[in-house]
Structure 1
């Protein structure tokens, strides 16, 4: 047998984290395809290597943990088969095939069998090339960030925070400028609607959501809703028919269950009635992305969330609603936590109706408790990237320094969504020499400052132009 090169679990962890496999599916020794929907987050505490992983095996979706080992027998050698901390493991990722007479079954302390995938033959490149690339990247990162580490070591915590707040303001101003440019062709309320739609799409579906909002403007939706109160079907279904129809996501073949059949039939009937007067070209279903998205983030479920928001806008217009809310918040200056909750509630949508417990037409979610169509992280991101800059633009257009000041104060205290891996790396570099509570830096302004650094400087890299890598600023 050919000698196996030495592989560390850290290398295997990076392979998993970057999903450096030949295809989106791996295969168990029994021949079952394992589709990775979400790779999860790295666990730095005791327990499995990755938490919050979502996979599909055959037609079943599983959510739980993943443990990585070089050899399959390491599971038993490390005592995981007797450790309840590993009982939520849904996949055992092993690099090498088992040696002769080695254990070939992975079991939890409860006796449950954990599916295993062997990845050494499924890599996107030979392992030697991947290891060499990791080494080159590590050396490059050490050299690349040397200047900012030297500069940061000379700066006080107060100075770092002051500079980061300034960069956070610059990122907010970028958004304001972007929306101001759109004013040449659109009303401010439509701009806010498009920005909210972009936020619903996040990174994978930002472009198709923006296109949908352009093809089906908020005003056009309102013009095509029934005017009589108590009409059947209710406005919510009219809105959903317009959204799903324009998005090209109305099923062409009715799914098998009776509830879905009745729901889709009603949507199709409304769409057939509304489409001629809407006079638009529907999008293609192929424009929407599902790959490696968590089911709660699938486009149909996000469109359902949007439909509930639009129903609210029939009662109080979108922009007017936020202006009235900020007017109310001005009378509650010292009630920061309550004010944050009031803002978040504008985008909270309790799961109800057909889409409670579903992420596709006819498909149920892997979520045990489906309470909301939008999670808190998405809500916070939309408020930071859409609501605050648009209302700030309104304040400047209408010469309202009180409202402008209020938006900036909110921006300073509003909590940031969870940090991604890249933003966490930037934050770790910034605060390497300082002990600071995480809550103190997890605010919208500082978070946006870190995102701005990552996008405009760290990712390029452009250290010479960065405030922290250059002595010139």
Structure 2
């Protein structure tokens, strides 16, 4: 039988063992009032438990092991942190544990008290031969309320973890929220495949420089395309020639060094997603509103946030071009709805949440969650797999929660720490 301490912790935490006539290995009667708080740091496994042993009610810590002899193996005998252990819970009692005062620590053996059906479900989850996720055969049976509550919890965990990256960047940017937002937004404009060169471009071109030229659209475009390394060639069209002339002056004025152009990727991208078009859209957004985070914080309605990104108009040159000097059939180069949704999800939501958390203003946190709930669910391999298994995905809040579930729990088979896994183990 494959058995782990994690499973033993789970059984104790939720008191899923047979509790009738519960006694220590020495025959003293036990009644568990509180299993204690699960401690995942150093020290006893459960703290502040309340347990009656014999005629005495004890308050203290509980330590769990697969075998009682593990007490010695794990070095607890000489560790003062374990002096307040009131009960030793083990799967199998193979030797007595004697405290320094000569008293045997009260020990509860659970070997014959764990329901076989519970163990079988656990074994199937953790050691089964599943293809997608450990609970793929059962997740469709989990009720909607349980699923929603768990996804809500881990979605907040996801936002909290991601907000730490924002605060770290904010520190490097000397507390400048606008600059930090500008850099994150730039990276997300790269939509993964060109995220790195976009991020490098933004770092090489601080927003304060763009702000000095906010009334001159051509100069903004020249700075962005120039720093992206797209103005180093020879051109025949009037527009790129103007950009190059403007950039030549501005580069010297601000002592700028462009990123290497070879970092940008065009292969296997639809022309609408070419980095030149994304840079044009980014420039149009900067031209329209230089202090973007302030706008985001001001706009209260979801539709207003959509319009902030959707209603940007690129330079008319790009209506008939995807690259410099290469004409194409006329087409709109506005950001599509799917792209706007991704920017709202990955940048706006993150900064509303991070700003609210940093300043302890729940209003912005609520707005972040409301925005996620208003966006359509993402369609990717992970959400597709969950949908195939019978999970209903109603919006981006839930699809993002499922990404966190898959990447932080399912991939590591942390079923015992998962609200969905817990529900499945307890299903009748």
Instruction: Give the CA deviation at 1:153.
Output: 4.5
Q: Note closer, same or farther for the CA distance 1:282–1:159 as it changes in structure 2 (3 Å cut).
A: same
Secondary structure of the residue aligned to 1:147 is coil
Q: Which residue of 2 aligns with 1:346?
A: 308
Q: Which residue of 2 aligns with 1:267?
A: 243
For residues 248 and 142 of structure 1, the distance between their equivalents in structure 2, rounded to whole angstroms, comes to 50
Maintained 8 Å contact 2:284/2:313: no
Q: Which residue of 1 aligns with 2:180?
A: 191
Structure 2 residue 412 is matched with structure 1 residue 452 = no
Instruction: Give the CA deviation at 1:468.
Output: 6.7
Instruction: Give the CA deviation at 1:469.
Output: 7.1
Q: Note closer, same or farther for the CA distance 1:442–1:365 as it changes in structure 2 (3 Å cut).
A: farther
Q: Which residue of 2 aligns with 1:422?
A: 382
For residues 394 and 218 of structure 2, the distance between their equivalents in structure 1, rounded to whole angstroms, comes to 39
Correspondences of 1:23-422 after superposition (within 5 Å) = 143-145=130-132, 147-186=134-173, 187-223=176-212, 225=213, 235-250=216-231, 252-255=233-236, 261-314=237-290, 317-326=291-300, 339-348=301-310, 349-364=312-327, 370-416=331-377, 418-422=378-382
Instruction: Give the CA deviation at 1:252.
Output: 0.6
Q: Which moved more, 1:178-187 or 1:462-471?
A: 462-471
Q: Note closer, same or farther for the CA distance 1:141–1:222 as it changes in structure 2 (3 Å cut).
A: farther
Q: Note closer, same or farther for the CA distance 1:211–1:465 as it changes in structure 2 (3 Å cut).
A: farther
Q: Note closer, same or farther for the CA distance 1:145–1:319 as it changes in structure 2 (3 Å cut).
A: closer
Secondary structure of the residue aligned to 1:249 is coil
Q: Note closer, same or farther for the CA distance 1:361–1:456 as it changes in structure 2 (3 Å cut).
A: farther
Secondary structure of the residue aligned to 1:149 is coil
| Higher Rg | 2
TM value normalised by structure 2: 0.63
For residues 201 and 165 of structure 1, the distance between their equivalents in structure 2, rounded to whole angstroms, comes to 28
Task: Say what the alpha-carbon RMSD is for the aligned residues.
Answer: 2.7
Maintained 8 Å contact 1:215/1:280: yes
Maintained 8 Å contact 2:150/2:420: no
Instruction: Give the CA deviation at 1:350.
Output: 3.5
Secondary structure of the residue aligned to 2:363 is helix
Deviations 1:109-149 (A, max 9, x none): xxxxxxxxxxxxxxxxxxxxxxxxxxxxxxx9963446312
Maintained 8 Å contact 2:186/2:199: yes
Give unpaired runs (5+ residues) of structure 2: 1-126
Deviations 1:343-379 (A, max 9, x none): 111101245511113221133457x7x3343111111
For residues 259 and 128 of structure 2, the distance between their equivalents in structure 1, rounded to whole angstroms, comes to 42
Q: How many residues align?
A: 295
Deviations 1:44-84 (A, max 9, x none): xxxxxxxxxxxxxxxxxxxxxxxxxxxxxxxxxxxxxxxxx
Secondary structure of the residue aligned to 2:299 is helix
TM value normalised by structure 1: 0.57
Instruction: Give the CA deviation at 1:203.
Output: 1.2
Deviations 1:398-439 (A, max 9, x none): 3323333233223223334x41233312332252xxxx5xxx
Q: Note closer, same or farther for the CA distance 1:469–1:397 as it changes in structure 2 (3 Å cut).
A: closer
Maintained 8 Å contact 1:152/1:468: no
For residues 133 and 162 of structure 2, the distance between their equivalents in structure 1, rounded to whole angstroms, comes to 31
For residues 274 and 166 of structure 1, the distance between their equivalents in structure 2, rounded to whole angstroms, comes to 49
For residues 191 and 322 of structure 2, the distance between their equivalents in structure 1, rounded to whole angstroms, comes to 16
Instruction: Give the CA deviation at 1:169.
Output: 2.3
Q: Which residue of 1 aligns with 2:123?
A: none
Maintained 8 Å contact 1:295/1:359: yes
For residues 222 and 338 of structure 2, the distance between their equivalents in structure 1, rounded to whole angstroms, comes to 27
